[in-house]
Copies of this chain bind each other. A is one copy, B any other.
Amino acid sequence: MLEKTTRMNYLYDFYQSLLTPKQRSYMSLYYLDDYSLGEIAEEYEVSRQAVYDNIKRTEAMLEEYEEKLLLFQKFQDRQKLIKQLKQRTLQQYADDRELLQMIEALEKLE
């Protein structure tokens, strides 16, 4: 369950610009601010079921975008390689600040 939440957080992060403002609001409150469905329903004066349906649809959309664009998958692949690169640099060339800075810039670029 926790892993699923982390995944949804990432997918939201990558694809939020493709969502409608309402979808973004609900997802942000639910996943980032940890509101309950009932609290969101109250805030927006809609039924709990309406909020639930909207969030479920949005989650499905995010998974569809990921199936097509693989942004989260590619991000993970890159981060894994960058981590290896950083480890090797720290082990072998710990004095080379410039090299390390380049790798860290790459790491933060996402």
Contact = CB atoms under 8 A, between A and B. Distances in A.
Contacts of A81: 102, 105-106, 109
Contacts of A110: 74
Interface residues on A, range: 20 to 34
A77 B108 CA distance: 11
A32 interface: no
Interface in A75-110: 77-78, 81-82, 84-85, 88-89, 92-93, 96, 98-99, 102-103, 105-106, 109-110
Interface of A: 15, 17-18, 68-69, 71, 74, 77-78, 81-82, 84-85, 88-89, 92-93, 96, 98-99, 102-103, 105-106, 109-110
